Amino acid sequence: MAAAALEQSKETIASRVVDALRDDIITMALKPGDVISESDIAGRYGVSRQPVREAFIRLAQQGLLLIRPKRATVVKKISPVGVRQSRFIRESIEVEIIRRVAGQPSDDAADVLARLIADQEAASDANDSRRFHTLDELFHRTLARLAGVEYAWQLIDDHKMQLDRVRYLTLGVSSTQRAIAEHKLIVEAVAKADPAAAETAMRAHLARAELLLNQTITDFPDYFE
Per CB under 8 A, residues contacting a second copy are: 11-12, 53-54, 57-58, 61-62, 69, 81-82, 85, 88-89, 91-93, 95-97, 149, 151-152, 155, 159
User: Which residues bind to DNA, rule: CB under 7 A?
Assistant: 12-14, 36-40, 47-51, 53-54, 56, 67-73
Nearer to DNA, 60 or 93 (CB): 60
Nearer to DNA, 36 or 180 (CB): 36
Angstrom distance (rounded) from CA 102 to CA 115: 17
Give CA 105 to chain center in angstroms.
26
Angstrom distance (rounded) from CA 49 to CA 66: 17
Nearer to DNA, 54 or 188 (CB): 54
137 binds, among DNA, a second copy, none (CB under 5 to 8 A by kind): none
139 binds, among DNA, a second copy, none (CB under 5 to 8 A by kind): none
Going across the sheet that includes 35-36, the strands are: 35-36, 72-75, 65-68
**Closest C-alpha to 166, from 97, 102, 95, 224:** 224
Total count of residues recorded for the chain = 225
Shortest Å, Cβ 223 to a second copy: 19
Nearer to DNA, 1 or 72 (CB): 72
* Distances 34 to 45, 98, 124, 167, 222 between C-alpha atoms, Å: 18, 39, 34, 19, 11
9 binds, among DNA, a second copy, none (CB under 5 to 8 A by kind): none
